[in-house]
Structure 1
Amino acid sequence: MKKIIARLWRSIRGPAQWRILWFAHAKFMVGVTGVVRDDEGRVLLLKHRMWAPERPWGLPTGYALKGEEFPRTVVREVKEETGLDVEAGRLVRLKSGYRLRVEVAYEARLVGGSLRLDAFEILEARWFFPDALPEGLQEAHRALIHGGTGGRTGA
């Protein structure tokens, strides 16, 4: 029976195989976070309107678009939320195991732009030194800032 299934699988090739795989496997959203730092070593934190009132502060975070490379998601999300331009750096976190979400985080470096907040999502944006982070910061984001892998993000 296994030989028949293998022969059948090899015979269908191309798009039909991809459709079968797509239907047979789980679908995930990818939450992408940027640990954005400036030349002084400060980290960009945002006060998010839609997050829990007791934990509104966090790193720039959003979901990858279909077909989007994750470093590009960091660049896009920071630009959309703050008007700032960043360059994505090294991958600092990749975590799965949530029901429908995979989480990815990258270091990022400020390269330009002017602060212009997306008032729908973001209440405030500020630069903090890692030893002076605000109360109400997501614990997972605190860990990312300090070089850890962090737990669950607020995305």
Structure 2
Amino acid sequence: MKKDRGKVWLGVAGIVVNAEGKWLVVKKKYSGLKGVWSLPAGFVQIGETADEAIVREVVEETGIHCEVTGLIGFRTGVIREEISDNMAIFCCTLPSEGQIIQIQEEEISEARWLSVEEIVNSGASSVMLEEMACHELIQHQLYKKEGINPGDVFEYSAYKLFYNK
């Protein structure tokens, strides 16, 4: 069943990098990304921050537990001149190496660790993934700062700031 997300979408994607510098990539079973390598991704749910959403999505799609270290990019577009489609792209690391990939078989056909060279040269990567792999993005991330309170008047239950150090 397709969910009605309204006319403004907020998605998340994560570049999860292991100790060897390889990226965690997946092949979806649906949509325009069917059968091509792409980043683990999904939509932000009610009551969660965007960085919490990508940690959840990575675990759901691959079984891999990760931690967000920063924001790398933001993709935005308009679909059929009516739907605002936005995606925050996070940089993530592993709290522990040696985790075993366990795919979510309903949505994912395959997940794997690939080097940047394999992503760029495979001929089977999404346009966004290939574009991002061509650049050294990790050095240009915006870093996460937690524990900030902008004031009780705003009534935030969660508040995080991403900025350039």
| Structure-2-length-normalised TM-score | 0.67
Q: Which has the higher helix share?
A: 1
Unaligned runs of 5+ in 2: 1-5, 138-165
- Largest Rg, 1 or 2: 1
**Identity percentage of aligned residues:** 27
Residue type of the partner of 1:37?
Answer: V
Residue type of the partner of 2:22?
Answer: R
Deviates more, 1:64-73 or 1:26-35: 26-35
Q: Quick check: 2:33–2:126 contact (8 Å CA) kept in 1?
A: no
Structure-1 residue corresponding to 2:92: 108
Structure-1 residue corresponding to 2:73: 93
Q: Map Cα deviations across residues 45-101 of structure 1 (whole Å, 9 max, x no partner).
A: 101111347752101010000231111111000000011100012111123342232
Q: Quick check: 1:84–1:114 contact (8 Å CA) kept in 2?
A: yes
Alignment RMSD: 2.2
Structure-1 residue corresponding to 2:143: none
Structure-2 residue corresponding to 1:125: 111
- Equivalent residues in 2 for 1:35-114, closer than 5 Å: 35-52=15-32, 56-98=36-78, 99-112=83-96, 113-114=99-100
Q: Kindly state the Cα deviation for residue 110 of structure 1 after the two structures are TM-superposed.
A: 2.2
Aligned length: 124
| Structure-1-length-normalised TM-score | 0.71
Unaligned runs of 5+ in 1: 1-25, 150-155
Secondary structure, in 3 states, of the residue corresponding to 1:136? coil
* Counterpart Cα distance in 1 of 2:29 and 2:75: 25
Q: Quick check: 1:43–1:145 contact (8 Å CA) kept in 2?
A: no
Structure-2 residue corresponding to 1:142: 130
Q: Map Cα deviations across residues 123-149 of structure 1 (whole Å, 9 max, x no partner).
A: 111111101223221111122233378
Residue type of the partner of 2:16?
Answer: V
